[in-house]
Homo-oligomer: A and B are copies of this chain.
Amino acid sequence: MTGRVWGLGVGPGDPELITLKALRILRNAPVVAYPAPDDGSSFARGIVARWLSPVQIELAIRIPIEAARFPAQTVYDQAALDIASHLDAGRDVAVLCQGDPFFYGSFMYLFGRLSERFRCEIVPCVSSLGACAAAAGFPLAARNDVLSIVPATLIDDDLTQRLSACDAAAIIKLGRNFARVRNLLERLGLAAHAHYIEHATLPTARVQKLSEVDPGLAPYFSMILLHRREKAWR
């Protein structure tokens, strides 16, 4: 009997936003794997640290900083081999995912390598999208709205085309792209009612107007939310 691999969504950051299901599976997992930077602690592990037990085997998937943006496939090749060795030995492996595993999550690179050979189950969780909307008090979309999730890493022409067509948008992966995106939203007349959110659900959470943001400080995990009607419920 081979083990089962879980893509275990542990939420956007606040430990209290974990689901009962994720907590049950976490506690029962003999092996707990998680992404971690080359040098430093894992954000996903930090969310659930209070519930880990010393008898659990931990497996840090060390992802070089640059690879977090341009996934280095060799990292995932090796991680998939490491996880497979536990699965082959009959041990279930819970892979911790910050944010929803299938919403721009790096877990899908492991899923692509493991799901044909092993039983693989996903536990969905609170995504950054819902967390940011809640933090900003900003309803995302209603009725016949089209809501587009748009990575800030797109080139200007693509961003302009996507944002011109949508009723509502969440612009993700800001980081170094913040200033460029803000300029573009100003040109499109979409900046005035947009909200900027970082670290949603954490004690360091911040919600600002675009004009208040210091573009040098926007982290990669921040988001801009906007709606053409300003308030979705109108």
Contacts and interface: CB of A to CB of B under 8 A. Distances in A.
A117 interface: no
A231 interface: yes
Interface in A156-211: 161-162, 165-166, 201
Given A109-B233, A166-B148, A102 B115 contact: no
A57 interface: no
Interface stretch (A13-21, A37-45, A82-90): A13-21
Contacts of A112: 231, 233-234
Interface size range of chain A in the complex: 35 or more
A19 B131 CA distance: 13
B137 A120 contact: yes
A232 interface: yes
Given A19-B11, A102-B138, A134-B122, A148 B145 contact: no
Contact of A233 (B111, B123, B138): B111
A126 B124 contact: yes
A146 B149 contact: yes
Interface string A90-130: 00000000001111110011011001000011111111011
A3 interface: no
Nearest to A170: B147
A52 interface: no
Nearest to A154: B144
11 contacts: A9-B126, A9-B130, A100-B133, A102-B138, A105-B139, A109-B233, A111-B137, A144-B153, A146-B154, A146-B162, A147-B148
Interface of A: 7, 9, 11-12, 14-21, 23-24, 71, 100-105, 108-109, 111-112, 115, 120-127, 129-131, 133-134, 137-151, 153-154, 161-162, 165-166, 201, 231-234
